[in-house]
Amino acid sequence: MAKDVVAILGGTGDQGLGLAYRFAAAGRPVRIGSRKEDRARAAADQVRERFGDADLAGFENAEATRAAAGGIVIVSVPFEHTVGTVKSIRDALEPGTVVVSMGVPLATAVGDVAARTIGVSQGSCAELIDSLVPDDVPVISAFQNVAAHRLLALEEPVECDVIVSGAKAPRKRVMDLCDDIPGTRAIDGGPLYNARYVEQLTALMIGINIRYKLREGTGLRITYI
Ligand SMILES: NC(=O)c1ccc[n+]([C@@H]2O[C@H](COP(=O)([O-])OP(=O)(O)OC[C@H]3O[C@@H](n4cnc5c(N)ncnc54)[C@H](OP(=O)(O)O)[C@@H]3O)[C@@H](O)[C@H]2O)c1
């Protein structure tokens, strides 16, 4: 079966670019999105330098969303820019497209530290996004516990489980993305409601990274499954 096309909004940043490299390495079509088309194209060129025959292109965010119609659109911008970004692409979302929330409501959004979070009235970044997109566009939560430095260390596997939450059929499509990233394992995280717990874990992991001086970041494993 053909792989879903993936658009990564804010794919010019560390986390989105890391995913772009990993998906391109696995032969998955990738559309990098940015507020500026030239930045998106430059990021796509950067990935193509490494994976010359990859199916890659860069677009302004709404165009990247259209270019992945029926596929998967990952929102990879800092939490405080989630609402503006999702509103800017809302009209470009077509039924059948799955939106992935990867954001964490870190307290850096209000000038506090990254090892804490702020409250989100919808319960989580994922549920906030769900409140913004059309009803026929499912939102799935994933990849919040994966560290950008680990994604970008292309010679190494990413030792991390990925808890994937949301409606069953689109959840399965997003779980399949983990097959592209050596070392990751998708864990069925049940309904989207559970995104709130997964997002909070990232703040805990950032605190652990700081205490153990692990700049590259820690990973998460659920054992005995
Ligand atoms: N970094 C990690 O290790 C990590 C781990 C787990 C989850 N995450 C989550 O992944 C997401 C991206 O993280 P990141 O570290 O890659 O973030 P980042 O580098 O700070 O930003 C990602 C992109 O967001 C876009 N952006 C910046 N300001 C914006 C604004 N005002 N409006 C709209 N877009 C804006 C930029 O793209 P353009 O300027 O090209 O538009 C930027 O390249 C975040 O939600 C984060 O919580 C990150």
CA atoms within a 13 Å half-sphere pointing along the CA-CB vector of 59: 19
Answer yes or no: is 33 within a domain: yes
Q: How confident is the model at residue 221, as a pLDDT?
A: 98
Show Cβ contacts of residue 41 under 8 Å, excluding neighbours closer than 6 positions: 57, 58
CA distances from 215 to 33, 148, 149, 171 (A): 27, 10, 8, 31
pLDDT in tens, the chain (225 residues): 789 999 999 999 999 999 999 999 999 999 999 999 999 999 999 999 999 999 999 999 999 999 999 999 999 999 999 999 999 999 999 999 999 999 999 999 999 999 999 999 999 999 999 999 999 999 999 999 999 999 999 999 999 999 999 999 999 999 999 999 999 999 999 999 999 999 999 999 999 999 999 999 999 999 999
Answer yes or no: is 1 within a domain: no
Q: What are phi and psi for residue 182, nearest 5 degrees?
A: -55, 135
User: 51 CB under 6 A from ligand 1?
Assistant: no
Amino acid of residue 174? V
Answer yes or no: is 155 within a domain: yes
Answer yes or no: is 220 within a domain: no
Q: How confident is the model at residue 81, as a pLDDT?
A: 98
Answer yes or no: is 218 within a domain: no
- Please check whether residue 215 is in contact with residue 209, taking contact to mean a CB–CB distance below 8 angstroms: yes
Q: How confident is the model at residue 86, as a pLDDT?
A: 98
Q: Which residues of 96-109 are buried (b: 16+ CB within 10 A; e: fewer)?
A: ebbbbbbbbbbebb
First-to-last CA distance in the chain? Answer: 27
Relative to the CA of 18, which ligand 1 atom is closest? 16
User: 16 CB under 6 A from ligand 1?
Assistant: yes
* Test site for ligand 1: of 9, 15, 65, most ligand atoms within 8 A of the Cβ: 15
Dmax (CA) for the chain in angstroms is 46
User: 10 CB under 6 A from ligand 1?
Assistant: yes
Tell me the Ramachandran region of residue 151: left when phi exceeds 0, alpha when psi lies from -120 to 50, beta otherwise: alpha
For 3, which DSSP code?
P
Relative to the CA of 17, which ligand 1 atom is closest? 16
User: 12 CB under 6 A from ligand 1?
Assistant: yes
Domains: count for the chain: 1
Answer yes or no: is 221 within a domain: no
Which residue range(s) make up the domain with 123? 6-211
Q: How confident is the model at residue 28, as a pLDDT?
A: 97
Ligand 1 center to 110 CA (angstroms): 15
For ligand 1, atom 46, which residue shows the shortest CA distance? 103
User: 23 CB under 6 A from ligand 1?
Assistant: no
- Please check whether residue 102 is in contact with residue 143, taking contact to mean a CB–CB distance below 8 angstroms: yes
Ligand 1 center to 77 CA (angstroms): 3
Helix axes 82-89, 125-132, angle to 10 degrees: 30
Q: How confident is the model at residue 2, as a pLDDT?
A: 87
What are the residues facing 33 on neighbouring strands?
9, 59
pTM, entire model: 0.98
Ligand 1 center to 224 CA (angstroms): 33
Answer yes or no: is 64 within a domain: yes
For ligand 1, atom 13, which residue shows the shortest CA distance? 15
Q: What is the CATH number of the domain that holds 199?
A: 3.40.50.720
Residue ranges with strand state E in the chain: 6-9, 30-34, 56-60, 72-75, 98-101, 139-141, 160-164, 184-188
Answer yes or no: is 76 within a domain: yes
Q: How many CB atoms lie within 10 A of CB 111?
A: 6
Q: How confident is the model at residue 204, as a pLDDT?
A: 98
From the list 66, 69, 45, 49, the residue with the least C-alpha distance to 57 is 45
What are the residues facing 74 on neighbouring strands?
8, 100
